[in-house]
């Protein structure tokens, strides 16, 4: 959770950084230190993204999906079983968690590519506008994917149904 939150903050910073560099004349006057900073910044973001998905997949997720022993009445220690036990909360798993667990893995792929391009081309990146476009696109997509994963993670961990809090319907009008 902490790594993901840091990633979201860093991603919005990266978009501002890339936007500033793309504004009129900024590239021509950018220092080599500024070029190197972009590569380091994106590399730190990539490290955060990998830490997020690896810890989420191999530390948090096994706890989330642990099966409750037969006959368990209090499911509060078994979040997946708790969510699936009620039609009102089932979609938090079938939509929220199912999307979160996969979409989050798009983030390290996208941002590792962006970091590689920024580091490989450093000062020459200014001479490759198409590389910059791709870099912008992938960083924005990674922010969206991280936002989806972060939203569902925050809602599931901190707010709604896992702790028996307010029930929020993700999709209404479907027959259960």
Partner 1 sequence: MSTQAAATPVNPPAIPNGSGAAAILSAGIGAFALALLSIAADKSASLKALLSIYKPTGTLSGVTTGAILVWLAVWAVLDWRWRNHAVSLLRINIAALVLLGLSLLLTFPPVADLL
Interface residues with partner 1 (CB under 8 A)? 19, 22-28, 53, 57-58, 61-62, 65-66, 94-95, 98-99, 101-103, 105-106, 109-110, 112-113, 116-117, 120-121, 124, 126-134, 137-138, 141, 144-145, 171
**For partner 1, the closer CB: 73 or 171:** 171
**CA-to-CA separations, 6 to 2, 10, 145, 146, 167, in angstroms, rounded:** 6, 6, 14, 11, 28
Closest CA to 145 of 65, 56, 17, 82: 56
**For partner 1, the closer CB: 12 or 164:** 12
**For partner 1, the closer CB: 141 or 168:** 141
**In angstroms, what is the minimal distance from the CB of 64 to partner 1?**
10
Closest CA to 160 of 97, 70, 68: 97
**In angstroms, what is the minimal distance from the CB of 126 to partner 1?**
5
**In angstroms, what is the minimal distance from the CB of 54 to partner 1?**
9
**For partner 1, the closer CB: 110 or 155:** 110
Residues 6+ apart with CB under 8 A from 105: 53, 57
- The rounded distance, in Å, linking the Cα atoms of 172 and 169 is 6
Cβ burial of 24 (10 Å; 0-12, 13-18, 19+) is exposed
Structure-token pair, residue 111: 């941002």
**In angstroms, what is the minimal distance from the CB of 112 to partner 1?**
8
**For partner 1, the closer CB: 76 or 127:** 127
**In angstroms, what is the minimal distance from the CB of 169 to partner 1?**
14
């Amino acid at each position: 959770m902490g790594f993901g939150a840091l990633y979201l903050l860093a991603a919005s910073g990266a978009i501002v950084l890339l936007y500033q560099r793309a504004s009129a004349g900024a590239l021509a006057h950018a220092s080599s230190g500024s070029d190197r900073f972009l590569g380091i910044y994106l590399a730190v973001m990539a490290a955060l993204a990998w830490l997020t998905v690896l810890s989420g997949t191999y530390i948090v997720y096994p706890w989330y999906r642990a099966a409750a022993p037969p006959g368990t009445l209090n499911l509060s220690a078994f979040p997946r079983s708790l969510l699936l036990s009620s039609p009102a909360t089932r979609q938090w798993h079938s939509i929220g968690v199912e999307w979160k667990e996969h979409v989050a893995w798009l983030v390290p792929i996208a941002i590792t590519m962006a970091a590689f391009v920024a580091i490989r081309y450093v000062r020459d990146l200014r001479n490759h506008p198409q590389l910059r476009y791709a870099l912008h696109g992938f960083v924005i997509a990674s922010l969206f994917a991280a936002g989806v994963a972060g939203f569902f993670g925050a809602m599931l961990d901190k707010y709604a149904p896992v702790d028996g809090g307010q029930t929020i319907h993700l999709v209404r009008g479907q027959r259960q």
